[in-house]
Amino acid sequence: MIMYNTCVLLARTTQTVPHISLSFFDMLLSIAFVIVAVFSISAQFSVNSTFKKYSGYVSRRGYTADEVARQLLINAGIYDVRVEPIRGNLTDHYDPGSKTLRLSQSVYGSRSIAAIGVAAHETGHAIQHNEGYSPLSLRNTIFPVVNIGSKLAMPLVFVGCLFYYFNFSLIVLEVAAMLFSFVVIFHLITLPVEFNASSRAIALLDRYSFLDGDELNGAKKVLKAAAMTYVAATASSIIQLLRIIVMIMGKSGRRRD
Ligand SMILES: [Zn+2]
């Protein structure tokens, strides 16, 4: 984003004809960017503080998070997914390629409500994969393109800005916008995948009585806070894409003048 803002400043030095509508739209996007940045920071703060809070509550049943994950997998009829620890904090994920459910240091072996909630959420992803849940399949299919897009889009925006500054072709910015649109699509598909994994997690924890009553509410709060970080990431990616598009439109508009 810093690269992008430098780019916008550079681009503005080349503007001789004011484009009121685009400038207004750009201003709206700048305001939206600030709002989303604040939302992103507060979502990150909220997930850390909620996880920390409910890490302090040990579940009454006394199972560890990895034991819960293994049992939920067996209950779902899944026997080929491994559950193993991984370094780091909130690095928990399900890897569909190797069919491995990796739980972070603060989750694996923990008996806390927060850890059990996270482990059940990741198990939800393993169940989605096993069932062939279509948004997850689509997300996994476009992931290689997104991986390239997320790495190349911002450097391309910067190179595109240099082209823009020297009044060359818009092709680099257009390629950047196209690549970045895959990143946006990926984030949009991620939302139902994440919400669905969380709702499965809560339903399973309730059905098999791993958590109950206030414990279940605690796990819900942890998963809801985590979901908000995905909403923030999606909103942020949409704004970045719109800003690249506005830049392209601004340049196209000046060409017609
Ligand atoms: Zn997830």
- At 147-199, the pLDDT tens digits run 777 777 777 777 777 766 666 667 777 877 888 888 899 999 999 999 999 99
Q: How far is the CA of 131 from the centre of ligand 1 (A)?
A: 16
Hey, what are 146's tokens? 């997104």
pLDDT at 95: 93
Q: Which residue positions in the chain have pLDDT lower than 50? A: 1-6, 8-18, 256-257
Enzyme catalytic residues: 122
Q: Report the pLDDT value the prediction gives residue 21, as an integer from 0 to 100.
A: 62
For ligand 1, the distance from its centroid to the CA atom of residue 100, given in whole angstroms, is: 14
User: What spacing in Å lies between the alpha carbon of 94 and ligand 1's midpoint?
Assistant: 8
- What values do phi and psi take at 163, rounded to 5? -60, -45
Measuring CA to CA, which residue among 65, 106, 104, 84 is closest to residue 210? Answer: 65
Please tell me the distance between residue 227's alpha carbon and the centre of ligand 1 in angstroms: 8
Residue 252 has a pLDDT of: 63
Q: What is the pLDDT of residue 253?
A: 60
Centroid of ligand 1 to alpha carbon of 119 (angstroms): 10
How are beta strands 100-104 and 82-86 bridged, if at all?
Answer: parallel
Centre of ligand 1 to C-alpha 77, Å, is 20
Distance 221 CA to ligand 1 centre (A): 15
Q: Which of 206, 231, 230 lies closest to 113, judged by CA?
A: 206
> Domain map of the chain by residue range?
2-57+133-256
Nearest CA to 154 out of 185, 183, 186 is that of 183
What the block records as the tokens of 232 is: 């923030």
For residue 14, the model assigns a pLDDT of 43
Distance from the Cα of residue 60 to its chain's centroid:
32
For residue 11 the two structure tokens come to: 């681009």
Q: If you measure from the C-alpha of residue 255 to the centroid of ligand 1, how many angstroms do you get, rounded to a whole number? A: 45
- At 155 the pLDDT is 76
